[in-house]
């Protein structure tokens, strides 16, 4: 479902969208498609950056390789026993 809305763009942003619309679709009527695509990409990038931030952040638990291997084996065994 699409919604109509008014967006006030700075001149430089509008020019970028026009150029991208011409590049992708060969016309300037597809600015909305370009804007939707760019916003979706930005949202995905923000999610990816959040995942990286979490991965690089402070760790609240630690486990040795041996402990992990023991856990993995017990988990695997519990699935085999089903």
SS3 9: coil
Q: At what angle do helices 31-56 and 11-25 cross, to 10 degrees?
A: 100
Which residue carries 């638990």 as its tokens?
A: 61
Query: What pLDDT is stored for residue 79 in this prediction?
Result: 85
Q: Are 40 and 33 in contact (CB under 8 A)?
A: no
pTM over 0.85: no
Report pLDDT digits (tens) over 49-78.
Answer: 888 888 888 877 888 999 999 999 999 988
């Amino acid at each position: 479902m699409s919604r109509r809305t008014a967006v006030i763009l700075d001149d430089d942003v509008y020019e970028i969208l026009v150029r991208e619309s011409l590049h992708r679709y060969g016309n300037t009527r597809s600015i909305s498609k370009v804007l939707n695509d760019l916003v979706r990409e930005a949202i995905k990038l923000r999610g990816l950056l959040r995942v990286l931030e979490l991965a690089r952040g402070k760790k609240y638990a630690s486990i040795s390789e041996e402990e992990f291997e023991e856990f993995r084996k017990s988990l695997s065994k519990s699935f085999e026993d089903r």
